[in-house]
A and B are shown apart, each in its own frame.
Chain A
Amino acid sequence: MRKNPADIIFSATTAIASLSVAVFVIGILYVLIMESSPAIGRFGIKFLISTDWDPVKESFGALTNIYGTIITTFLSLLIAIPVSIGIAIFVTEISPNFLKAPIGAAIELLAAIPSIIYGMWGLFTLSPIMSRHVEPFLKKITAGIPIVSILFQGTPMGIDILTASVILSIMIIPFTASISRDSFNLTPPIIKESAYAIGATKWEVVKNIVIPYSKIGVFGGIVLSLGRAIGETMAVAFVLGNNHRIATSLFDAAATITVTLANEFAEADNDIYLSSLFYLALVLFVMSFITLAVAKYFLIRAERKYSR
């Protein structure tokens, strides 16, 4: 078939438009590496394991930020995973039919609220509740227990790792919950019915049939929320306090990579400071890209499994 010239122009335009996404990915990587090259040259790979963050002495290291990112992400997943899976079980197995769609939609609305709103609500509403009620309570009940009590040392200020993690967990619940729900829904009814037929309770069907059947999809959903939590900025910027040190108590202020970037990027007054911030952004980009790629890998595997 002879090609129509207008068709060639149109197809070329669409091809260029779709390649823009690849250009952004490569461009971001390239630009971040170029911009951070002064810092890479000066601090090298040691940047990743140094706890220094001293703009005056011009000595920078990423460890406090990476630590902050990992600890808040880990804690938020710890809170969010059981709740999300509980929600998914409720929506797929327990709730009456007419409530399934509205509850699912309501949970997904949580994902539509902008992160700055979470941050502001966290600062003005959640943080006072945490410092007055929740944190003193946690401190009291863990007081006598060795090791655990270290986590709850210090004055509960509400601007700390715990509050930030709680907000993050609320933000990632909708992602994990909706992907888990979709995976649960793909369990063939006939397998579930066979289990009911031999006298299994609803919980046993969920525990022994639905969850094992859909675990790849659920895992993909969890890794996806992990990727999102790593990169979340505004929601934690309000309540984490931007404190560059390795905190041992959950009541300590800390800094994540994103919070440091948000607070210091526009104020960096010399080249090595700015370059170190670009280095941080590079670390964040690589971390989240790998996490999201892993999530995508599991979600594709899940998709293949269910479509068979």
Chain B
Amino acid sequence: MTRVRKRKIEGVIAMVLCTVAALTGLFWLVFILGDVLAHGIKALNLNLFINDPAPAGVEGGGLRNAFIGQLLITLCATLIGVPIGVLGGTFLAEYARGRRIARLISILSDIMVSVPSIVIGTFIYAVLVKPIGHFSGWAGAIALSIIMIPVVLRTTEDMLRLVPWTLREAAFALGAPYYKVIIQIVYRGASTGILTGILLSIARVSGETAPLLFTSFNNSFFSADMNKPIASLTVTIFQYAMGPYESWHSQAWAASLVITLSILTLTVIGRLLIKGRHGKR
């Protein structure tokens, strides 16, 4: 009997430990989000969005330049990254389906998704900042688009593969050339999935800081010129949080709250979209 009891006790202890592990994970999530919310909401007000920064150390001012800069950089990165990613994914899932090259690019993309983003920052610095002689918004946007492309490419590939082959055959039978089949039939069938991939990739790059540090750099004045250094929320948070002023810290918290909420919203919408689709089937 004692052996049975020993096994049972061992089992209970292990199960309790696993439950504690799950609670630990949830604890961190609640702790971090709660902390960002508590600090951020205190500093959040309209001035933050409509004023430019006050001179260093002076109370007041806002982060209008950083909000606009962040939107511009992300928008440009999306405009560059999404078409390339979707088209690249199309090649892997359609024209190169089953070929060795498709497998290789697919694996390379999976690796590129996790390559340190700061390395991409140094690469863009060498290619676009050093030769031109100054930091620029474009350099930041292109750095972000390089992070985006493999993400969009891989989800597009996976989503196109889910579209049944018979659907394409039906269109071929009507005499449609392959590109028309892809654009009018396959894309339509996979549109929700591709959109999810795009949303998640936007969420992923809007939180990136490291690749912007020495590409778009920072700018304490308002600028919408993508050829000049441009402020971004993330780099501003880094600068303000490491800075000595209390007012900077509270603005950094407010900016963190805005960016966290935006990213979580995008992520949740992306997840719900894909779930809603699977639910229907």
Q: Are B153 and A21 within 8 A (Cβ)?
A: yes
Stretch in A47-55, A57-65, A187-195, A230-238 touching the partner: A230-238
Q: Which of B8, B32, B88, B126 lies in contact with A18, CB distance below 8 A? A: B88
Residue in B19, B35, B122, B237 whose CB lies within 8 Å of A265 = B122
Contact with A along B90-112 (1 / 0, CB 8 A): 11101110000010110111111
A7-B179, A265-B214, A281-B122 are known contacts. Are A233 and B116 too (CB-CB below 8 A)? yes
Contacting pair A203 B94 (CB below 8 A): no
- Interface 0/1 of B112-154, CB less than 8 Å to A: 1011111111110111000000000000000000100110010
Q: Which residues of chain B are near A95, meaning CB under 8 Å?
A: 22
The residue that B115 contacts in the complex, of A13, A105, A206, A292, with Cβ under 8 A, is A292
A64 to B133, CA, bound (A): 31
Secondary structure class of chain A's binding surface, majority of residues: helix
| Category for how many chain B residues contact A | 35 or more
Whole-angstrom distance between the alpha carbons of A103 and B19 in the complex?
Answer: 11
Residues in B with CB closer than 8 Å to A237 are 238
User: Contacts A7-B177, A117-B259, A288-B114; is A107 near B25 (CB within 8 Å)?
Assistant: yes
Q: A28-B120, A31-B123, A94-B15 in contact; A11/B91 too (CB < 8 A)?
A: yes
Choose among A17, A123, A202, A292 the residue that contacts B88 (Cβ–Cβ < 8 A).
A17
Cβ of A118 within 8 Å of any chain B Cβ, yes or no, is yes
| A27 contacts B25, C-beta separation under 8 Å | no
Interface size class of A (residues with CB under 8 A): 35 or more
Residues of A close to B241: CB separation below 8 A: 119-120, 123-124, 238
From residue B238, how far is it (CB to closest CB) to chain A in Å? Answer: 6
A141 to chain B, nearest CB (A): 20
Q: State A27–B108 Cα separation when bound (angstroms).
A: 13
Scan residues 268-294 of chain A and give those whose CB is less than 8 A from a CB of chain B: 277-278, 281, 284-285, 288-289, 292-293
Cβ of A31 and Cβ of B126 under 8 Å apart? yes
The answer for the CA separation of A35 and B121 in the assembled complex, in Å, is 14
Residue of B with least CB distance to A26: B108
Given the complex of chains A and B, what is the CA–CA distance between A25 and B238 in angstroms?
28
Chain B residues whose CB sits within 8 angstroms of the CB of A118 once the complex forms: 32
A14 at the interface (CB under 8 A from B): yes
A202 CB, min distance to chain B CBs, angstroms? 6
A52 to chain B, nearest CB (A): 21
Q: Scan A1-21; emit 1 where CB is below 8 A from any B CB, else 0.
A: 000101100110111011111
Report whether B126 and A14 are in contact in the complex, using a CB–CB cutoff of 8 Å. no
Q: Are A121 and B32 in contact (CB-based, < 8 A)?
A: yes
Indicate which residue in B26, B35, B118 contacts A258 across the interface (CB closer than 8 Å): B118
Tell which of A120, A203, A277 has the most Cβ of chain B within 10 Å.
A120
Determine the distance from Cα of A278 to Cα of B119 in the docked complex, in whole angstroms. 9
Q: Which of B18, B91, B108, B210 contacts A233 (CB 8 A)?
A: B210
Q: Is the CB of A292 within 8 A of B114?
A: yes
Q: Is the CB of A112 within 8 A of B149?
A: no
Provide the bound-state CA to CA distance between A31 and B123, in Å: 7
State A90–B209 Cα separation when bound (angstroms). Answer: 34
**Chain B residues whose CB sits within 8 angstroms of the CB of A109 once the complex forms:** 29, 264, 267
Answer yes or no: A39 CB below 8 A from chain B CBs: no
Q: Cβ of A288 and Cβ of B249 under 8 Å apart?
A: no
Q: Does B87 contact A (CB under 8 A)?
A: yes
Other-chain residue from B11, B102, B249 in contact with A204 (beta carbon distance below 8 A): B11
Task: Identify which of residues 105-131 in chain A touch chain B, using a CB-to-CB cut-off of 8 Å.
Answer: 105-107, 109-110, 112-121, 123-125
Indicate whether A75 reaches chain B with its CB closer than 8 angstroms: no
Q: Quick check: B95 and A288 within 8 Å, CB to CB?
A: no
**CB contact list, B166-215 vs A, under 8 A:** 177-179, 182, 203, 206-210, 213-214
Within 8 A of B (CB), among A195-212: 201-204, 206-207
Shortest beta-carbon contacts, A-B, top 3: A114-B207, A86-B21, A231-B116
Could you pull out 22 A-B pairs where Cβ atoms are within 8 angstroms?
A4-B179, A7-B178, A11-B91, A14-B91, A14-B94, A21-B153, A32-B126, A35-B126, A83-B24, A87-B18, A87-B21, A106-B26, A117-B36, A119-B238, A124-B253, A170-B32, A238-B241, A261-B121, A261-B122, A262-B210, A265-B214, A284-B119
**Residues in chain B within 8 A of chain A (CB atoms):** 7-8, 10-11, 14-15, 17-22, 24-26, 28-29, 32-33, 35-36, 39, 83-92, 94-96, 102, 104-105, 107-112, 114-123, 125-127, 146, 149-150, 153, 177-179, 182, 203, 206-210, 213-214, 217, 234, 237-238, 241-242, 249, 252-253, 256, 259-260, 263-264, 267, 271
Further 17 A-B residue pairs, CB within 8 A, beyond A6-B177, A230-B116: A17-B86, A18-B153, A28-B119, A32-B126, A34-B126, A105-B271, A112-B264, A113-B33, A115-B210, A124-B241, A201-B7, A201-B10, A233-B116, A234-B238, A258-B210, A265-B122, A265-B125
